[in-house]
Each structure stands twice: as C-alpha cells, then as structure tokens.
Chains A and B, each alone.
Chain A
C-alpha cells in the first residue's frame, strides 16, 4: 500500500511541476496575474509530494519490502541497518528520486525566499526550474519507476553491492546531487535573467548564494568521493582521473569559474554574457556528467547498469534543456553583453584570469574524457586517456592559477595600484622560499614539480592567511580567504604525500618485518574474521617508528555473502596529519603473504583542504555581513578585498 501511495505522490508532484512550468509560463507571457500566482503554491505542493514519495521508498527499504522490485534487486535483509537507509539512493531509480527531491526542495526554497528581484522574476525562475524538474519526473515515472512491484515477492533481496556498503560512499552521492541541483537553480536564474532582461548586479547578488552553496556541496562531495577511493580501493591513491570522477570535476570547475565571475557582475556589472554562459554550462555539465555515467557511453571500469532507452531519454532531456538554454543565450547574449570597462591590473582582470584557467582546465579535462569516444565514433582505435595526460595538462595550470590566486585578493576593483603588493606579499614570498629550502635540504626532495608544489602551497597559504587575520572582514571576504587557504592546504597535502611517501611491497611470513627508514612494520598475525555479512582474512601489522609503537594496522581481504564479491579493506591509521596505509594480498601458497605498506605524510591535508574550501563557500553565503568588529577606516586603494560597505 505505502509504495502505491508513494507512486501516487510522485504523479501528483509531477502534475504540480507541470502546472508550475506550463501554467506559470503562459501567465508570464499573457501577463495574467492569476496564473502567475500559481508558481509559489505549486512549488510547495511539488516539494511536499516529492518528500512523500521519497519517504515511501525509504519505508520500503527500511522494512525490507521485497515486493518492491527496486528493494528486491538492491537490498537484503542481512544488510547492516544504516545501509537499509542509504540503499534508497544507491541505485538508479532511487538516486533519480533523490535528484528530484533535492530539486523540488530547492524550488520550495526559492518560492519561500524573499523575491529581491520582484515576484515576476521569482515566478519566472520557478517556471524554468519546474520545466527542468518536469523532465526528470517524466524520466522517473516513464522509464524508471522506483515503485514497481514484483509478483510474487521473492523471500530475499539480491543485496547491495558491498562496495556501496560504506559510509563514505553512502553520503557522497547526496552531497554531489545537492551540488548539481544547486547549480540547476543558478541555471534557472540565468535563463530567467535572459528572458526577463534582468542580468546585472542585483541578479548576480540573488544568484550568488545558490552558486556558493552548490559549490560548497560539490566540493564536499568530491572530497568525500576522493577519500572513499583512497581508503576503499586499496591502491593508495586518491584521485584516478576516471571518467566518473571527471564527470563530477567538470561541473565543479565551471562552478568555480562562475563563483568568481558572478562577483564581477555583482560588483562591477561587467562580464555579464560570460557569466550567463558559465551558469548554463555548470548545470549542463552536471547533467552531461550524469548522462555519460548513466548511459555507459564512456568505458569506465566503473560501468553501470545500462539501458539504451534510458540513455536515449536522458539524452533527449539534455538536448532539450541545454540546447534550449544555449539558444536563448545566442539570442539574448547580445543584449546583455557589454558591461563596464576595467584596467589590465585590477581585481576584475584577476578574476578573468581565474576564469581563464578554470575554463582551460575544464577544456583539457573535457577533451581527455571525450576524446576516446570521439576517436572510436570516427572509426579510430580504442584508446584510453589516463592520469599521465591529465597530470601533464592540469597540474601546470593549477600551479600557475595557485600563484595568481594569492595575488588577486590584494588587487582593487576597476584599476589597482601595485605599490602595496610587494609589502603585502612579502610574508608569502618568505614562506614559499623557506618551505622550498626545507624540502630540498632536510627532506631531500629533488623533483622540480614537487618543489614548485611546496612553494605554491606556502605562497598561497600565507597570502590567504594574511587576509584572514585582518580585522573588519566581511563574511564574504573571509569565506574567499578560507577557500583559498583550503586550496593551499590541499596542494600541500597532495605534494607532500607524493614527494615524501615511502612504500614497500613484499611477501612476508608472520613474524617477519618491513624495514623502511625509521619505520618498521612487523606482521604479527593473519587470521580469519567475520562481520555481519562478510568474512575476511585479516592481517595484523605492528608499526613502529624509531622503535616506538605508532599504530597497529589491520588490513583485510573481505568476501561478502550477498551479493558474493571480494573487496580489499586497507588497514589505515593516522600519524600526525599523514597516514600509515597497508593492504594485504593473496597468500603465495608457501605461507607468505603479499603486503603493501605505505607511509604518506600529510595526506589528510588533501581532504581537510577540501573541507576548508567547502566551509569557505558556506561562509560566503553569509554575504556582506561584517565578521570582524570594526572596519578599518583607512583602506588603501585595493587593499581590502571587498571595499563596498555592508
């Protein structure tokens, strides 16, 4: 009964979306107040009904109602409780339902938030958003009904992929989805802005919180995904440049560019057309990423269940929305373009430089991701483009961008003086030099790329901190500085964990030890252990540094019961902000075990930096609220990031 109610609620939500999309659009066109007034209530009904539908599906999962096909194929009564809940979205249909849920909720937020650009604009945004939502409702109801029943009901479900039975992976998709959908609001604002001819500082101010919020969630989602890959895959790496990862990275890059260019529109009313394009692109890339992953167009080792009808449906939706938005753009951009001018050395041009680097990175990632597909489509060979390509193209750009990022906040709008730069950046310069010297001499790093990474991290980190310690900051500026500092922290983590890492791959018997510099890891024991739905071989490694015990690692090789599958569970322990990481492999038949042991200094900084970035994004949501006590009165031209008073 409850699944049927959920199904019904989903239809009602779709009907509300239809009304909100078509009715309101007609109302806007005819200037019919009555129809326009439908926007807010229908957005609220849509949200309410979607919540009900999602609740119904969750209920089916939690009580293990195997008469619902989705539950039977993706759940199992033996599954630990938490994954009964998260199993709801760990599958195609459920994740789409989550997608429309987030979309409907953000629609309700738009409906309830004060309409700073006037009710007509709000209604326009809601109608555009409903059009997007409508497509996804149709997709759910027609091609992927989550409430389909199985008659007769099987007595047991097929189980959730064991790799998904993990807290990191359980919460990574919702975070990403909130990010994607947040970008859909920015998309709706952009389309509405073009249709209503409202693009300008006020529009930017209204759109920016959505971009900042979406960006923060995307950042967190990507960081969590990377952390999951790191501890779950047992490869010791944290980013693999897989198409699935790139699909999430591309909207993030576009969102980052958007976050910066929208500030220019807000402050200086310049870069309007470009910002609109970015807003359209950011959500388009989110949809495209989802589509590419879902349709199996790209050969990812992470292949998903694929259904050509679904692929076609998604592609139709995508072509409609992106094509439609770009057509409106082609028609309207000429009208909105031409903002004000600015000088070569100014905050604006620094932000343009940011956009340039973000777009260039986006371009090379897009090319690297799609090239194999294009080559194959044109009858060429089957190739794959892997980490070497991305490292060689993206890393240099990231480095240059990081160096510029440190300088940009010290530049003023319109036209900046440069005299103050030297003194303000002096601490950063000293820090960078010092860190490079430390890396070369006591630490023995010789590789030029790593040294540049250390230098850039210190340079950016100290420069960003020196903004943070200023008094009288706005939340906005503090958020920016924190996010920049987070980038520096991540760069430091990535560089150090690579350049200073030690690793050993050995086969060893119980009682033998790995010696590696000051580190010693002794294999104490290998024995079978069991969990609620798995059994495993677990090794016990006693790790000491200069003779003092540091940690005991317990890597496992797990075999899951339902569905049957093997996974590697790395044995990890923190050491300062780094990690000790170990994996156990197969026995060689003579009583020896393969063991891979790593010491990765500062590796946790990668994800801590990601969290700082996300936190910065959240702070920036607060906008211009003053964070510090009193704004310093004497602000040199361009000395403080955001000169406009609150």
Chain B
C-alpha cells in the first residue's frame, strides 16, 4: 500500500480531531450556564418602584437603612413563588425585613397573589418590565438577595426558598451585618 493511500485513511480521524479541538475551545468559554450574579459584592441597582396592593413601594434608599434586608424577586404567575410563601412567612416571623419586587406583573394579579398566599413583605416594588431582573442579574424568578445595610448585594439565592434554606439565609443575613 502506498504511503498516500495510508494517509488518506487517516484523513477522517484528523478532520474529526480538528473538530473536537474547535469544540473544546468553544466549550471552555464561560459564556453559558454561569449561575451566580455579577452583582454580588456590588451595590444593588438603582430603583424607584411603585408600590402595589396598598403596600409601599421600594426605592434604593430603603436598602441603605443600616440593617440587612432580603429582597425577593417574585411574580404572581410563578408557581415556585407560591411554593416558597410559607418559608417567607417563617423568615418574617424570625424578624427579617423582607422586600418584594413583583416582576412582569399587574397590580390586580399581585393583589390576588398576596391575598391567596399572604404578604410577608414590608415593601413591594412593581416592576412590570422586568428591568430589575436584569439589574440584579437574575436568571429567573423566584430569586432572593441579601442586601447589607449599605445597599450592597451580599448573597444570591436561586429558585424557591425551601425549609432547609431558611437557616442558611438567616446566617447570611447575620454575616451581612
């Protein structure tokens, strides 16, 4: 067998190797699936959101009141948000200040949601455009953020708060003091 024919049989393997290298390079890029927000350690985005359902609205100044607070991104159309309602209640019962941001929501819907699942929030900002999701670097709702008394994001919790997360969040709040 001639040398050239032999090389020909190797060609598919070489082409494939090139392809794998190319894909490995792209796969190494951190563009996907980064879950953590860039905002941890940075000041929370500026906001001046209207209140809803008789609850006062939320502004940047409220996050700089000196004590750590939890900011919860939720929506009336979001099922896990309903699932986490008892845990938010529990946090409230432990003396935690909870602020809510209703993402892409309508006042009437939020009112209905709070009537059904209770209102653990001291303040609720209505964010019909979902701008705060981008602001906080959220990948979805619900998400919960620990903000220290100076308005800086300290911790991000993704997804619904389950019972076992409550002590963890309390600890994070303690740390943020």
Contacts and interface: CB of A to CB of B under 8 A. Distances in A.
Q: Do A and B touch each other in the complex, judged by CB within 8 A?
A: yes
Interface of A: 76, 152, 154-159, 273, 277, 280-281, 284, 288, 291-292, 295-297, 306-308, 311-312, 315, 318-319, 322-323, 326-327, 329-331, 333-334, 337, 370, 373-374, 376-377, 561-564
A564 B9 CA distance: 53
B80 interface: yes
Which among B1, B13, B23, B24 has the highest number of chain A CB atoms within 10 Å?
B23
Nearest to B32: A306
B163 to A, nearest CB: 6
Interface stretch (B14-22, B50-58, B127-135, B169-177): B14-22
Interface of B is mostly: helix
A312 B27 contact: yes
A297 B26 contact: yes
B13 A334 contact: no
Given A326-B13, A334-B5, A377 B25 contact: yes
A430 to B, nearest CB: 44
Contact of A323 (B10, B20, B160): B20
19 contacts: A76-B79, A154-B83, A156-B79, A284-B16, A288-B19, A306-B32, A308-B33, A315-B20, A315-B23, A315-B24, A327-B13, A329-B12, A329-B13, A333-B9, A334-B6, A374-B22, A376-B26, A377-B22, A564-B77
B162 interface: yes
Which among B10, B22, B32 has the highest number of chain A CB atoms within 10 Å?
B32
Nearest to B18: A374
A370 B27 CA distance: 14
Contacts, number: 82
List 10 A-B pairs, minimum CB-CB distance, nearest first: A326-B13, A333-B9, A564-B77, A306-B32, A330-B10, A330-B9, A154-B83, A306-B33, A377-B25, A334-B1
Contacts of B22: 370, 373-374, 377
Q: How large is the interface on B (under 10, 10 to 19, 20 to 34, 35 or more residues)?
A: 20 to 34
B111 to A, nearest CB: 18
Interface in B78-94: 78-80, 82-83
Contacts of A374: 22
Which among A152, A297, A326, A562 has the highest number of chain B CB atoms within 10 Å?
A326
Interface string B142-154: 0000000000000
B23 A297 contact: yes
B16 A323 contact: yes
A212 B163 CA distance: 54
Nearest to A309: B33
B12 A315 contact: no
Contacts of A323: 13, 16-17, 20
A308 B33 CA distance: 7
A158 B79 CA distance: 6
Contacts of B83: 154-156
Contacts of B33: 296, 306-308
A198 B80 CA distance: 58
Contacts of B25: 377
A152 B13 contact: no
Contacts of A292: 23
B2 to A, nearest CB: 10
Contacts of B80: 154, 158
A329 B9 contact: yes
Contacts of B9: 273, 329-331, 333-334
Given A329-B12, A334-B6, A562-B79, A154 B160 contact: yes
